[in-house]
Amino acid sequence: MEHCAVVQPTLQHILRDSWPTDLSSSHLKIGFDPEFAEDLDHARRLDPGSLRHFFQKVLGHPVHIEFALLDHPVRWSRKAVDPSAAATENTGGENAPFDSKSAGLNPQAWLRNQTVREVLEVFHGDIVEIQP
């Protein structure tokens, strides 16, 4: 969020009430709870170039950003894994390549991925569910 304030000062406030709803190597979908529809409108008016630059810096590669209004509020589980703990438990070493197939549905394994940890940090999120 500190990087966010430098690249686009209003982005920090707007993304505070948003959630990553879809992430692939080339696409990031950011969802807003229905009660924050006004923030969604603000997000859509942001400079797309600055936004892409910000997420490219955070994720380490270019990504298409899409904003959407969710049908219902997100309910996060507090039983989720702590990203900082998973980073220190990385038994494969910090330089070990991440493999999504071997990670499967294990949240600890997914938290070994630097990009996943960075997205969770930006959105102050937790891994709640991993879908195949």
**Domains of the chain with bracketed CATH:** 2-69 (3.30.300.180), 83-122 (no CATH)
Closest CA to 81 of 45, 44, 60, 109: 109
What span, in angstroms and rounded, lies between the C-alpha atoms of 39 and 48? 15
Give average pLDDT by consecutive 10-residue segment, the chain, 132 residues.
60 76 84 84 82 80 88 58 46 60 84 84 80 75
| Residue 31, pLDDT score | 87
| Residue 75, pLDDT score | 59
Cα distances from 104 to residues 1, 44, 110, 111, in angstroms, run 29, 34, 8, 12
| Residue 81, pLDDT score | 43
Q: How many CB atoms are closer than 10 A to CB 38?
A: 11
Cβ distance 112 to 87 under 8 Å?
A: yes
Compute the half-sphere exposure of residue 84: CA atoms within 13 Å on the CB side of its CA.
2
According to DSSP, the β-strands at 27-32 and 64-69 are parallel
Q: What is the pTM of this model?
A: 0.52
| Residue 13, pLDDT score | 75
